[in-house]
Structure 1
Amino acid sequence: MTATHSLGWIGMGRMGFPMAERLLKAGHKVAIWNRTRAKAEPLAANGGRIADRLDELAACDIVFSMVSTGNDLEQIYFGPNGLLAGSGRRPKILVDCSSIGVDESEAIASRLKEIGCAFVRAPVSGNGKCVKAGKLSSVVSGPKDAFETIAPYLKVIAASGISYVGEGELARICKIAHNVMLGVVFQNLLEITILAQKAGVPRHAFLDFMNASVMGSVFTKYKSNALVNLDWTTTFTAPLLRKDLDLGLQAARELGVAMPITATAREALQAHIGAAYLQGDPAGYLAKDFATLLESVARNAGMTLAPENVPTPTGLETEG
């Protein structure tokens, strides 16, 4: 695909790296900045131009970002050494793929409007493996004309599909709702898996049945290997999931929506995070994948888990 706009990318975490990599592999020239330069340097082999300073990306037409928090995004845009700190050129469109709160996003959008930058909110669904397998999706809101401009590039990243839902912060609401469902569904999946195991059903056999049924999904399938073999390789952490459940409950309070199931799932997650301090290395344990929640559910059932060592497909075969 031939690029018609100059592109910039900010953020080389578990998601940002493979997302930017897809643009490069599709033939686009991308200027890349990351706080730790070494994390971005491998993409130079794919044609990425590694920037030493954020303001080097200000000359790009479109700049994507994928960071952890709203505060991170604010500093990257408006901080003393941020993208927009200088008085020179500005990107025409800023596209943020992060998961941040509605209030944070609104404040950032207001500041960007004052300086004439269009702001597209494009949070994504999936993890790094989904990106590589071409199964990432995105929900988008913001100015319609800006969306239409960035859509060809976003489709490269979110190959499974992009959904435009309207103006303003509507994509943030959709992403928060999405991650609330993730937390609730996953908590229930863990509970029924332990229920079946305590009755004598191996985890791999139960999850195989669930994934083949109408209740199975892409999500339950790709998390099954972790649950069967206790593979806690990080895709998403429990503290980040707690942040998203808190955002969902905050939105529910503001909009007057009762969400008792979400509140219960949030408390189960908090109990898991609290129990991590009994592990002796809470920071290390909580940096593992949120699938470690299975251990808390098992412990509450009086069980100690062991890997079943059964090869379990995830359905996320990487694209060639």
Structure 2
Amino acid sequence: MGDNETTTSIGWIGAGRMGYAMIERLLDAGHDVSVYNRTRSKAEPLAQRGAKLVDSPAQLADRDVVFVMVAASEDLEAVTIGEDGLLTADSSPQIIVDSSTVSATVSEKIRGLAAERGTALLAAPVSGNPKVVRSGKLTLAVSGPKEAFDRAEPLLKPLGRGVTYVGEGEVARLVKICHNVFLGVVVQSLAEITVLAERGGTSRQAFLEFLNNSVMGSTFTRYKSPAFVNLDFTPTFTNILLRKDFDLGLEAAREHGVPMPVAALAAEMVSSAIGAGHTTEDFATLLLEQARRSGVELVSENVDVDDGLGTDTNG
């Protein structure tokens, strides 16, 4: 692809909230990006920033590397092998980087069809949301042919702060599921200790400030602190989506013979929150359920809390 990565032509399928923010980072890094989005108007502002817009995935087939960021398995099939799909044109990209949330089965199917055309598929699930992307803190786990990863890595680096090659085939999908299981376990534990601290007489803001400055603090505990303190449950990730990942994680655990007692219990707490009606809000609503079980009535503390992401847009 040449010594200068910016000469590599990039295609991008799917300019939803996450895809849009990731495209912005590639454009800011000086890359040549052509974009297909099902609703063209949502991608129009990207054209003003230098992206070229196309009317079908097939029109991206002559690009060197094509990223895909769509919502579900059937969407991935539609944009690759459906009508005017990426893999239906005369030419094919050298590499497809798929960051969609899809099943390993569908991904393997597309991987095989792409390979027949000489195209390598990299599974590259991401951890983060649009604000995390814009602050340069997105992380990616990537699996597939190592040679394809080495060639695509310079294009992946501007997307965030961490790009990790985790192995062949679909193993990146499992890595992402393991990550999200941990997410659920941590937020449930954080809810328990935060309610205990408040019940004992401290404010949530003071407790979390102490925790975040300690060795136990993390990017995640800081990021969730405003939701816990001010009870703002605008969704970044819902309990419904989290339960799906717990189900996948526990299924994989049985398949591989790995007991996961803590994860299994946390999964039941997520189901309990869903049963209580917390289906469209953020999964930080696990805090509300913990408070309810503890006889604690939570009110917003209405204080400005740093989420730790800042406004760094340069990574």
Q: TM-score interval w.r.t. the shorter chain?
A: over 0.9
**1:162 maps onto 2:163 in alignment:** yes
Asked if the contact 1:8–1:31 (Cα under 8 Å) also holds between the matched residues in 2, the reply is yes
Structure 2 counterpart of 1:27: 30
Q: Take 1:96 and 1:289, find their aligned partners in 2: how far apart are those partners?
A: 25
What percent identity do the matched residue pairs reach? 54
After superposition, where does 1:241-280 map in structure 2 within 5 Å? 241-276=242-277
CA distance in 2, matches of 1:264, 1:201: 27
What's 1:317 paired with?
Answer: 310
CA gap of 1:287–1:81, structure 2 versus 1, over 3 A, is farther
Instruction: Tell me, yes or no, if structure 1 residue 117 matches structure 2 residue 119.
Output: yes
Q: Which residue of 2 aligns with 1:301?
A: 294
In structure 1, how many angstroms separate the alpha carbons of the residues matched to 2:102 and 2:187? 21
Instruction: Specify every segment of 5 or more residues in structure 2 that has no aligned partner in the other structure, as ranges.
Output: none
Q: 1:13 to 1:298 in 2, by over 3 A?
A: farther
When normalised by structure 1's length, the TM-score is 0.91
CA contact (8 A) 1:123 1:171 kept: yes
**1:286 alignment partner, SS class:** coil
Question: What's the TM-score once normalised by structure 2's chain length?
Answer: 0.93
Match of 1:66 in 2: 69
Shift of residue 157 of structure 1?
0.4
Q: What is the aligned partner in structure 2 of residue 281 from structure 1? A: none
User: Aligned partners of 2:234 and 2:276: how far apart in 1?
Assistant: 19
Q: Is contact 1:298-1:304 (8 Å) kept?
A: yes
**3-state SS in 1 of match to 2:166:** strand
* Aligned-partner SS, 1:310: coil
317 and 67 in structure 1: CA distance in 2 versus 1, 3 angstrom threshold: same
What value does the CA root-mean-square deviation take over the aligned residues? 1.7
Change (3 A) 1:189 1:124: same
Letter in 1 for 2:196: L
**In structure 2, what residue type is equivalent to 1:305?**
L
Cα drift, residue 13 of structure 1: 2.4
The corresponding residue for 1:138 is: 140
Q: Which residue of 1 aligns with 2:93?
A: 91
Task: Tell me how far apart the structure 1 counterparts of residues 73 and 29 of structure 2 sit (CA, whole Å).
Answer: 29
2:109 is aligned to 107
Instruction: Return 5+ residue gaps in structure 1 as ranges.
Output: 277-284
Give the whole-Å Cα distance in 2 for the aligned partners of 1:83 and 1:299.
50
List per-residue Cα deviations over 1:216-259 (Å, max 9, x = no partner).
Answer: 11110111011111122222222221121111111111111111
Structure-2 residue corresponding to 1:280: none
- For the 8 Å contact 1:99–1:175, the answer to whether it is kept is no
Cα distance in structure 2, aligned partners of 1:253 and 1:57: 40
* Count of paired positions: 310
- C-alpha distance in 2, partners of 1:111/1:253? 30
Of residues 19-28 and 98-107 in structure 1, the stretch that sits farther from structure 2 once superposed is 98-107
How far the C-alpha of 1:288 sits from its partner, in A, is 2.7
Matches within 5 A, 1:17-56: 17-56=20-59
In structure 2, do the counterparts of structure 1 residues 101 and 184 end up closer, same or farther at CA, with 3 Å as the change threshold? farther
**1:189-216: CA deviations, max 9, x gaps?**
1111112112222111111111111111
Structure 2 residue matching 1:3: 3-state secondary structure? helix
> How far did 1:261 drift?
1.2
* CA distance, structure 1, for counterparts of residue 116 and residue 83 of structure 2: 18
State the Cα distance separating 1:2 from its structure 2 match. Answer: 5.9
Alpha-carbon offset, residue 179 of structure 1: 1.0
What's the offset of the Cα at 1:114? Answer: 2.5
- The one of 272, 279, 283 equivalent to 1:290 is 283
- Equivalent residue, structure 2, for 1:233: 234
In 1, are the aligned partners of 2:142 and 2:163 still within 8 Å (CA)?
Answer: yes
Paired residue type of 1:237: T
**Match for 2:80: what amino acid?**
Y
Partner of 2:122: helix, strand, or coil?
strand
Partner of 1:10 in structure 2? 13
